[in-house]
Every structure is written in structure tokens, then in C-alpha cells.
Structure 1
């Protein structure tokens, strides 16, 4: 049972940060269904090359994801309940650290492999929401020193101390809730199994 709870907790933390689904505003919904013309798509692809230059894409993604995964590991290992469980199982901490490292490398490899598809999907998304003039203006801005600096630094935001501290706090809160939810689920399943055994 303890092993199952630990796995559930780890998997919950490794999942993406909880993002609440928000209703799409009518205007946004209309923009999202705009026709992707060849002209718009070409302009959007040019913008994507400016936002994420092909020769910098892997490094930019690496700079964003590695700090995030490091925060996840630190938040996970510093959680009091998880720390207690790890201390009760010999070598559990080193096993978990190796697992998280493997997951980070696996995620990075998966992102690199699927980068072309992501760039193409984003180009289509931009093409639906902006016309050729707007896309050209965006490209012109991001070609400026300020625009380039913004893109480079925006990918490093997760490593900022304040953002990292907030993320670790959020992960710890999320983990505590996940552990309680996992306990409640285990109890419900156990009760259901007992009821079935009693013929109810």
C-alpha cells in the first residue's frame, strides 16, 4: 500500500502543473476558427523562425525544461511526507533521483523529436489568430534587440529564484492534496472490495 501511494504521489508531481480550463471568449473562438490561408501560414512560419530560430530551438527548450524539472525534484524531495517515506525505504532516495533524471532526459529527447510538429502546430495557431500584417509586425518586433532579448529571457523564467520558489510551493501543496486524494481513493476501493466480498 505504501509503495502504491508513493508511486501515485510521484506520478502526480510529474504531471504538468495544474492549469484550469478557461471558457473561450466568443471573439477568441471566432479567431480560432479563422481560415489558415497560404499567405498567413507563410508569415506565421517566418514568425516562428524569429521566435525560435531553428539553430537555437533545442537550447531554448532545454533552458526552459531543465529548471522546471529541477524544481519538481527539489519540491518532491523536500516534501515532509515524501521525505519520511523515502527515509523508511533503503536506497529509495537514490532510486527516485535516478528515476527523475531519467524522466528529464526522456522528456528532453521526446521534445526534440517532436519539435517540428510543435513548430508547425504553433504556426497554424498563429495563422488563425493574426493576419499577415500583424504577423509581419510581430516578426519585426522580435527581430529587434529588445524582441530577441525578450524571447531568450522568457525561456529562462522558470529558473528565476522567485518563480522557482513559487513553483516548489505549488508542487508541495499539489502533492499534499494528491496524497490525501490517493488515500481517499484507496479507502473507497478497499471498501468496495470488502462490500463485494460480503455479497453487497
Structure 2
């Protein structure tokens, strides 16, 4: 189906967001730490200030849900995609349900992996800042301005200007993905034909 030929490469763009963490040690082993304990402790205190444990899930959702909703809207509003979806009446509702499920799966994955993400972030901060700097950062983020910054920065992806830029970028990305996917399909078809001719 031509519709799916266009959609499949685009759906890959909506795979769950990767959580970049330290390399996972083999089962039964502990990953070595290259940071000093006092710096790690200060980094963990900073993370607790940036993302209080009782608010972490809500903060991540306030940042990621608008981001993913905007990506999905940009994809479904693409004129070529929208045109293709009209040819199959049930296609749009099926795709929308798939996208909703992907969003929920991503949020569940992030919630389940939150401890690992926090640990990875603490190590990353501890490598880049010394104990004095980490303390200064923590004190800043404990101020009203620092707390306001943290709260608002998590919602930046939902800002209208940022969302408009993101949709435009998504449209450009989809056009390139469609072009690249077609070129790949053509090359594979040509290779299959060459193989058939050589037999």
C-alpha cells in the first residue's frame, strides 16, 4: 500500500526517546565510577534541587508530552501524508491510536528508567563541576528565580514559537526521509533485478 510505504519510515521518527546513560556493566558486575564520592554527593543534591523526587515524573511529562504531540501533529499535517490518509478512511484513526500508544509507552519507559537517568545525570554533573561549583548551582536553583527557571524550562517545548519551529523542522525531515526511503527502495529493486538477470 502506497500510504504505508510513505508512513513506515516516518513512524521510525517516533520511536521512544533514548535515555543516554553510562554503559551498562555485565550482570553481576558494578560499573566503575571515575568521580570522587564528595563530588557525586554534591551532584545528587543538585539533581534533587533541579528535579525534586516527588515531582520528577510530572516534570518529565510536562516537557515530553508537548514535544511528542507537536512531532505527531507535524507528521499528520504533512500535505502528502494527509492526502494519502484520505484514500483509506480508517487509516488516520489507526495511526492516531498508534501514536497515542507510542506516547504512553515512551512515558512508561521513562518513568521505569528514571532512577538510572538520575544516577547518570549525577555522574555527568560530578565529572564536569567541582564540589564548590555544584554547591553554588544548588544554592542558585534554591532561590525563587532558580526555581522559576527550572519550572519554566521544562515547558519550553510547548511554547508557540518553539512548537512552530519544531513543526517546520519536522516537515523538512519528513520530506528528506521520504526521498531517502524512495531512493533506498529503488536501489534494492535494481539490485534484485540485476540478480534475476544474472541467473
Determine the C-alpha separation between the residues in 1 that align with 2:137 and 2:161: 29
Give 1:150's aligned residue. 149
Give 1:184's aligned residue. 183
Determine the C-alpha separation between the residues in 2 that align with 1:82 and 1:124: 43
Conservation of the 8 A alpha-carbon contact between 2:66 and 2:158: yes
Determine the C-alpha separation between the residues in 1 that align with 2:128 and 2:72: 37
Determine the C-alpha separation between the residues in 2 that align with 1:110 and 1:4: 28
Determine the C-alpha separation between the residues in 2 that align with 1:93 and 1:193: 33
Determine the C-alpha separation between the residues in 1 that align with 2:198 and 2:133: 67
Conservation of the 8 A alpha-carbon contact between 2:43 and 2:134: yes
Give 2:29's aligned residue. none
Conservation of the 8 A alpha-carbon contact between 2:40 and 2:126: yes
> What residue ranges of structure 1 are gaps of 5+ in the alignment?
18-33
- Secondary structure of the corresponding residue to residue 55 of structure 1: helix
Conservation of the 8 A alpha-carbon contact between 2:16 and 2:106: no
Conservation of the 8 A alpha-carbon contact between 2:6 and 2:81: no
Determine the C-alpha separation between the residues in 1 that align with 2:102 and 2:34: 38
Report the Cα offset of residue 6 of structure 1.
1.7
Q: How does 1:90-105 map to 2 (within 5 A)?
A: 90-105=89-104
Determine the C-alpha separation between the residues in 1 that align with 2:86 and 2:140: 52
Report the Cα offset of residue 10 of structure 1.
2.1
Q: How does 1:48-87 map to 2 (within 5 A)?
A: 48-87=47-86
Determine the C-alpha separation between the residues in 1 that align with 2:171 and 2:11: 11
Report the Cα offset of residue 11 of structure 1.
1.6
- Hey, which bits of structure 1, 4+ residues long, moved more than 2 A? none
Over the residues paired in the alignment, what is the CA RMSD in angstroms?
1.6
Conservation of the 8 A alpha-carbon contact between 2:16 and 2:105: no
Q: Is 1:160 aligned to residue 194 of structure 2?
A: no
Give 1:108's aligned residue. 107
Report the Cα offset of residue 16 of structure 1.
7.8
TM-score (normalised: structure 1): 0.88
Give 1:27's aligned residue. none
Give 1:39's aligned residue. 38
Give 1:11's aligned residue. 12
- Secondary structure of the corresponding residue to residue 104 of structure 1: helix
Determine the C-alpha separation between the residues in 1 that align with 2:135 and 2:10: 46
Give 1:135's aligned residue. 134
Determine the C-alpha separation between the residues in 2 that align with 1:80 and 1:4: 16
